[in-house]
Every structure is written in structure tokens, then in C-alpha cells.
Structure 1
Amino acid sequence: MPHTILIVEDERNMRMVIRMALEDAGHQVIEADSAEAALARLDRPDLAVVLTDLKLPGLRGEELVAAVRRERPEVPVIVLTAFGSIRSAIECIQAGATDYLTKPFEAEELLLAIQGALRLYDLLRENQRLHAVMSDARPRRRLIGDGPAMRRLREEIAQVAPYRSNVLITGESGTGKEAVARSIHEDGPRAAEPWVALNCSAIPRDLMESELFGYVRGAFTGAAQNRLGRLEQANGGTLFLDEIGDLDLALQGKLLRVLQEREFSPLGSDAVRQVDVRVVAATNRDLQQRVREGAFREDLYYRLDVYTIRVPPLRDRLEDVPDLAAAFLAELRAEMDKPVLGFAAPALLALTRYAWPGNVRELRNAVERALLSCRGERIEVDDLPERVRGETGAAPVNVAAGPGAEGLDAWLEESERRAIVAALAASAGVQAHAARWLGISERSLWHRIKKLDIKVERTVRE
């Protein structure tokens, strides 16, 4: 995005001279003849430097400096002052301005000051980006699981991540659609740019427009200053719209304009702003059915549905449950500072036999509950929620449901695979311990691992 310099000067001739000098040097320039007019332009995402006179009608230059420091702390301010007002310029420096020029000044002085301010702007922006990365409380979470469904999902992510095409992610609640969207962002060329998420079902309809598109001062009662919306916050990066099926019809038309024209207008303004975002949307609804019901725009659906990724429910990838449970346990025990080593094999077997109607979210909650209940070194079956233990009669699914159309041999093989994977996960990969829990010899376990082609990260024999 090109850098823009804002000139704030009430003398038209001086403004014109400065503009010509900057444009001749290849800079992009906008103007304001008062501090009030300048304040209305502070929300431009490409604003990189403010060059302001100290003596302005209305608000004084010092007040403008303070406003820039408050609203856009990454934007350097250069103040222009007459020779007799150097003390005021120094006071502005102390208040947050980065440099000052004394009138009259040469074009070369101006360009050197601008060059220094632009370098400072780039450094401050990079510092902001690094600070956001360092202070992100949630470390990047890899997609956990190595079953066929997850391998296909990773292949699809790798296929779409390098491009700017819109992606629609579908799946039941709790399956991890946001984690998939974040992987698309982090594996693509915009990984170093903003990631902004917005849940369309979590914000009241009357607030959604201002949240998504932002607003200008005076747009409504209480709008005391300009505010960037999520769309503009994501400029250059990725905007994740969760539960897109719940977006109000009136706002769907405005979102369609963004996808088609890459432009929008904030609430309360007729000014058109350009934006460069990749939109990744997610839903647990059948959008085609919503289109037939008249609740979702067909043209928006086709704009979003450039590429669809379906996230499988957890019941369709139960082979990943041990890995997921182990990852959640590691995360939660660190938060709780509780020295639980892992799961007993029977507990892991119970986890792999449960249907998980709430998907990955329910599994994480179950692990948290079990960790709270656990009094030993390992989580036992009795530590699990009652519904997971099966005492309420919850029917196990997939392999636990018995042989289906695939035949008895295939069912038995898959059941054996699950038991071995659960035992290995419970024993942290120590085959001697896993064999003991399974009631077989270590040699027999080794042969079965080879036969079933089970991947073992750790093959310690103790």
C-alpha cells in the first residue's frame, strides 16, 4: 500500500508549494485546511505522515498533534513553525511530534524530514506487527490428527492457501472451522498481515454494520470519534467471517460490494474507501437451503463459494481422538499447573468410543473436566464425564457399533487399530507399557504395529 502524507495548512499558497515539492518527489499527498478537517482523515489506513502548521483556525496545531498521538500513534507528525515560535515547536516535540521545520525552509529540508518520518513510520508499523505476534495469547495451533480425513483437509488447505480466492468453510459447530481458516491465513502469502475474525451471530444486528464497516464521527449518537471497522482492520490480510449464514440480508448486499469492487463506505460517510482483504467465511448452516428460503443472497453465496472446504465431524475421525485429547491435556495442565502425566488406556478407549456430538469443542471440555477430577498421575475412566463413560447409554459409533457393510474382518482390524493407538498415546509411545495395558507381549504389539501400519512417534522399549 502506498504511503500518504497529510498536509495541514490554512494558507492555500503554502499548501500548494508543499504539495508540489512532495509530489515531484513521488509522494502521495492529501490536504486539509484546518485541524478539524485533518481529524476526519486520520482513519485512512494508508496515512503515514502528518505535516501540520502550528497556527491554524479553530483547533491549534498542538491539539492536532495530541489527537494524532492518541488515535494513530504509529503516524509521525512534523510541525511547521515561524522562527519566533520555535519554543512552541519544541513543546510539540515534547508532546509527541517527531520533527519540526522553521519557515521559510528549502525543498531539500522538507524532503529530508519526510524521508526520516517515513522510515520511522515503517519501523513503528513493524514494531506494532511484532508486538501483536508476541502478545498473542494463543500460540499457533496446528491441525491435530493424522487420519485420512485430516490428511485430505490439509491437502485442501495447501491447495487454496497461496491464493487470494474466497473460501467457504462448512461443518458442524465445534469441528474447528476457525482453526482451518487460520491455517489458510498462516500458510498463505498474507501470514504476516492482519488476521481479523468476526462472528456474525454474536453481534446484535443494529451494531453489526458499524462493527464490520466502521463509522465516522457523528454517524450516530455516541460516535464521538472515527472508528475503523473489522474490514479495514484486516486490510492487506484476512477477514474471517464466522457463521456467515446469520448475516442480515441488508448487510449481505454491502458485503457483496466489497467482494466485487474491493471498496466500501463507513457508516455515516459517503466517502468510498479501497480495501484489500481475503475473505474466508464459515457456516454450520446449509447456505443453499438458506438461499431457497430467501434468507441468503444467491449472488453473495456464489461469491463466497469459490472453493468450499468441509470440516469433518469428530465422529468421522475418531482415530484422531487420542492425539487431540493429549494436546488438550498438555495445554490445560499447563494452565492449571496440575502434574497429570496422561490418560490411562481404558480412559482413552472410552474417549474413542464416544460419538462426540459437540465435536472437538466437546472433547476439550471433557478433558478439562477430567483434569479437574483427576487425583492421580493419570486420568482414569471415572474422571471422565458420565456421558463419555457410557453410563447414560450413549451408543458408541463407527467401529464400536459393530461390523457394517465393510464386513467383520475390516471392523475387527479397525477396532484393533484404535485400541493400539489409544494404548500408545496413553503410554507416551513406550511400547512396553502399551503392551502391558493391552495384555499382550511387546513382540506381539510390535508385529501388529507393523501389520496395521500405525505411525509411532516414539518407539522406546522399556
Structure 2
Amino acid sequence: MLPFAGRSMLLVDDDLRLLESTRDLLEFQGFTIQTARNFQEAQKRLAESTFDLILTDLRLDEGCGLEILKAAQGLQPDCCRLAMSGYATARLEVLALEAGAHQVLHKPLDDQFLTSTFDVLLRGRRTVQGDRQETSLARCGPLHSARWTPKPEKSSGRDGGWFGSGSKMREVFELIDRVADSKASILITGEPGTGKSKLARTVHGLSDRRGGPFVEVACGAIPEALLESELFGHTAGAFTGAIHSKLGKFQYAQGGTLFLDEIATASAAMQVRLLRVLQERSFEALGSNETVRTDARMIFATNEDLEQAVSAGRFRQDLFYRIHVVPIALPPLRERLEDVGELADGFLAQACQEFDRHVEGFSPGAYRAMKQYPWPGNVRELENTIQRAVLVCLGQIIQTEDIERLLTKPFSGFPSSGFPSSGFPSAHRALDIESESSHGRAAAWSEQYKDLDEALGIPEKAILLGALRAHGWNRNATAQRLGINRTTLYKKMKRLGIECTN
């Protein structure tokens, strides 16, 4: 029996020779094929017939493949939608995914890869039953309908209430809905404490790879000399101390997701190796001549501005374009204060269970205090604050003073003028260069500085020293209070020449 017998497809391409050859190949596999060469013909086919799968070129002489994807999503939300292009830029791929494509293929198309892709898509396809307008599945397409039925499964993929359901996070998850099942690389950006690692796990959990492994590597936490072995593995004798062969994280992530955090810290040599893996989906372990293929989906994260790093020559431009296919920006908590109450309630329930305490909730004043605070440490700081509030609360309701007491204690390294009379740190005052320079303070510019980084290093060092002293040089506690991870604190201490005092 033919592998795709009984399946129907709409094939759209303005190149007549390629259209006919692809049609012949797919009909030989059992597909019933209808073809179109422009948007008008495709729209007519969509209105007249039902298809299991649509494959459209993105660039057409008449019309646009993006419009065909949108029309297919509206007219036939249950069909699998694929786009193809020989000239697709990263931006065009993102637009295609946002228009409803489940995957973007690159010409020239490999016959075996094409049929295997169809097989995966169609096996994941599930007919949506009932009224689509009562389910929200119509916008998700076939792969998502299999994943989101029944509707409560949509929220179950989100990590422990870390994200909230405000308008900004809804936009983030609407994009994730469209790209979770694709192989496209994802770059998650955001300030420390916004939940980049948790979001990466969420993308994996909502994808068709959720049954496979999720492997996380903090690039900044591993010495450069060991990172290559950690990622790609090594053979026995590859270097001094390599007594046994070792598999790398890429091998462990086969069939799943590999998450590389702090990607901006990768060395120039490591960037070259990662670029090759992204381009060719293959690599060699250290000390081996055997090429290993990988199908791991790759997600990257950083709290740095990679475009600025590219301009400064610290990050390869070609690698940036490879990992920047689907950018997801996690907004800081101060920009989505509407989520604070929901997040606080979730963290309260978790803390009560973890610490075996019975606290019923927050007073109205406590909610107001939390919504007025700018949360420089983002969601991680909010979670930590709620945990401490549960431990110090004397009654069953967390009061305003309980929250304010935890939020208003300044570091000894902060200038006292950095806190307004309300007790909360100003959301707009980090370094007012013009004001500081008029008083001759360290934040003022001087020609003795080599560049801006050196100038900013002086107040940054003072702040870090003050924070470390305030917490008895406990680096875990200091990093948590600053709203950064411990690895970031170590790197800053090393860069600024701060040595830990026993």
C-alpha cells in the first residue's frame, strides 16, 4: 500500500517545472494532488476542496505565500501547513510561522526528507471535533490540536505559574503556539530572573518532542577548555585526563531539545563549531573522525544584547542569524505589573506547601505594595520575596508591612539618594550621569577612562562590593538578592577584580 494513500495535498509554486516534478513524486507516494501557481488559484482550491496538507512557495510571481498560509489557516484550520523557499531570510521564516506555517523548508527539497516530514506531520494530525469557535484550537492547527485537547492542557505546559496570563505574556505564548513543533532555532532574551530557562522547558513540553530529553547547558558556568567536550563529547585519549570516552550533550539531546543558556559567553572557536552544527546538523567528538548527525532542536538564551555584541565583534554575525530565527523577548516584571497578583498567589501556594505553613493570602495593601515596586530582580525576586514573607508572617494574612519590610532594605553599597521617600527604589534612577557628574561622583565621565565599559565598572564594582558585604560575602544570597544567577555574579566579580573574602 502506498504510504500516503487517501491523503490530499494542495501544492503551490509558480515554477511550472518544479511544480510538475514535485506533483509526480508525491502522487507516486499516494497523495491526491491539486496544484496552484498563484494566490487566486490557491484561494479557489481552498474554498472548493478539503486538504490534509498544504505546501506553498513563499515567493510567487502573483501574490504571496504568506497570504496563502493565512487563507489556509482561516479556511482549513485543521490542515498541516508547510512553506518552502530557496531564498528565505530569518525574518521571512518568522513571518511564515506567524502566518500559520508549521515548518519552513529550504529548496532544493530532498525527496527523502520531504516525505519523512510529511509523515511526521500527518501522524501528528488530529481532527478537531465539535465547534471550533468554542475551542481556540482553530488558530493552533493540527499539531496543536493534538496537543491542546482538552483545552486545560494548554496551561498545564506552563512552568509553575512563573509567567502569568497578562497581555504581554499572552503574546509570547501565541508565538510559542506557532513555533513549538518546528525545528527552527529559538533565541530567548530577557533580563536575569525573567524565567528564560523555564520558558525553554515550556517550549519543549509543548512541542512534539516532549517525549524526548530536555538537556540544559549553562555555557557561562563551564570553563572554555571543558565546554567543547561537554557539548560534543570526546574519545579516550583525546586530551590529558580523558581516560574514557564520553558522550556530549548533543548526543544526549537526540530526539529532544538542547538548551544553551548564556550563549553570549561562547568563545570565538565555540561559535564556529556551533555554526557548523546549525548549518549541517553534524559534528565530530574530540579526538574522533566519525561524523555524528544530530536532530536535537536548539534553543538559546541570553541576557545580553547580541546585536550589540555583533557590532562590537564579540559575536559572529552569521551565527546570530542562525540562532535568531524565532526571537522571543521575555518582558521584565516591571513592564507587566498586571501579572504580579496572579504570580504572588501562585508562589504563596507553593511556599506554603514547601514550608508546611498555612497562610491564606495577602491584604489589599500588600497587593498594592507589590504592584508599586519595580522588581529589579524580576520574577525570581518576587518568588524569593513571597517565600520569605511566608516564613516571617505572624498571622494567616501577609500584611503591607510584611511586604514593605522585605522590599525596602537597601544594600550598604547603594547611595541613599537612590531610594525615594516611599522606601522603594526608583524605577527610573540607576545612574543619572548628568546629575552625578555635577557632584563630581564616580559616575561622571572622565578622559582617563578607556571606554564606557571601564567607566561603568567603577559604580558597578561599588554596588557589588556593598551587596557582598551586606550578605556576609555569601555569593548565593547576594546573587539572589541582586536578581542575577550565581554564574553571572562570578563573572562580574572576576571582570571587576573582586576577590572573595573568607
TM-score by length of 1: 0.54
**Following TM superposition, by how much is the alpha carbon of 1:139 offset from its aligned partner in structure 2, in angstroms?**
9.5
Structure 1 partner of 2:170:
151
Deviations 1:260-306 (A, max 9, x none): 11111112222211111111101111111111111111111000011
- Whichever of the two has the greater Rg, that structure is 1
Structure 2 partner of 1:345:
364
Distance 2:185 2:221 in 1: 22
> Aligned letter for 1:393?
G
Structure 1 partner of 2:407:
388
Whether contact under 8 Å (1:353, 1:397) holds in the other structure is no
Distance 2:406 2:393 in 1: 17
Counterpart of 1:365 (choices 384, 393, 403) is 384
**Following TM superposition, by how much is the alpha carbon of 1:149 offset from its aligned partner in structure 2, in angstroms?**
0.5
Whether contact under 8 Å (1:236, 1:276) holds in the other structure is yes
Aligned to 1:197, the other structure's residue is in SS state strand
Whether contact under 8 Å (2:385, 2:406) holds in the other structure is no
Aligned to 2:221, the other structure's residue is in SS state coil
Structure 1 partner of 2:224:
205
- Asked if 1:307 is matched to 2:326, the reply is yes
Whether contact under 8 Å (2:159, 2:199) holds in the other structure is no
Counterpart of 2:292 (choices 262, 268, 273) is 273
Matches within 5 A, 1:281-430: 281-384=300-403, 386=405, 388=407, 393-394=423-424
Distance 1:197 1:323 in 2: 28
Segment of structure 1 superposing worse, 389-398 or 186-195: 389-398
Distance 2:159 2:385 in 1: 22
Q: 1:353 to 1:179 in 2, by over 3 A?
A: same
Matches within 5 A, 1:123-272: 140-141=159-160, 144-272=163-291
Whether contact under 8 Å (1:313, 1:359) holds in the other structure is yes
> Aligned letter for 1:343?
F
Distance 1:395 1:226 in 2: 52
**Following TM superposition, by how much is the alpha carbon of 1:141 offset from its aligned partner in structure 2, in angstroms?**
3.0
Distance 1:251 1:218 in 2: 21
Percent identity of the aligned residues?
47
**Following TM superposition, by how much is the alpha carbon of 1:380 offset from its aligned partner in structure 2, in angstroms?**
1.6
Whether contact under 8 Å (1:177, 1:282) holds in the other structure is yes
Q: 1:239 to 1:232 in 2, by over 3 A?
A: same
Whether contact under 8 Å (1:366, 1:385) holds in the other structure is no
Deviations 1:290-326 (A, max 9, x none): 1111111111100001111111110110010011111
> Aligned letter for 2:176?
I
> Aligned letter for 1:270?
N
Whether contact under 8 Å (2:162, 2:379) holds in the other structure is no
Distance 2:159 2:191 in 1: 22
Q: 1:191 to 1:200 in 2, by over 3 A?
A: same
Deviations 1:151-186 (A, max 9, x none): 111101111112111111111111111222122111
> Aligned letter for 2:393?
C
Whether contact under 8 Å (1:216, 1:266) holds in the other structure is yes
Distance 1:293 1:201 in 2: 19
Q: 1:377 to 1:261 in 2, by over 3 A?
A: same
Matches within 5 A, 1:108-127: none
> Aligned letter for 2:282?
E
Distance 2:256 2:186 in 1: 14
Unaligned segments of structure 2, at least 5 residues: 1-156, 409-419, 429-502
> Aligned letter for 1:336?
F
Deviations 1:409-440 (A, max 9, x none): xxxxxxxxxxxxxxxxxxxxxxxxxxxxxxxx
Aligned to 1:201, the other structure's residue is in SS state helix
Distance 1:373 1:391 in 2: 25
Whether contact under 8 Å (1:141, 1:179) holds in the other structure is no
Whether contact under 8 Å (1:194, 1:238) holds in the other structure is yes
Distance 1:227 1:240 in 2: 19
Distance 1:226 1:391 in 2: 61
> Aligned letter for 1:148?
S
Distance 1:395 1:147 in 2: 24
> Aligned letter for 1:164?
K
> Aligned letter for 2:380?
R
> Aligned letter for 1:242?
D
Deviations 1:100-159 (A, max 9, x none): xxxxxxxxxxxxxxxxxxxxxxxxxxxxxxxxxxxxxx9953553221101111101111
Distance 1:144 1:172 in 2: 14
Whether contact under 8 Å (2:260, 2:299) holds in the other structure is yes
Whether contact under 8 Å (1:212, 1:229) holds in the other structure is yes
Q: 1:139 to 1:302 in 2, by over 3 A?
A: closer
Question: What is the total number of aligned residue pairs between the two structures?
Answer: 261
Structure 2 partner of 1:432:
none
Aligned to 2:260, the other structure's residue is in SS state strand
Distance 1:139 1:224 in 2: 41
Structure 1 partner of 2:52:
none
Whether contact under 8 Å (1:157, 1:183) holds in the other structure is no
Whether contact under 8 Å (2:366, 2:400) holds in the other structure is yes
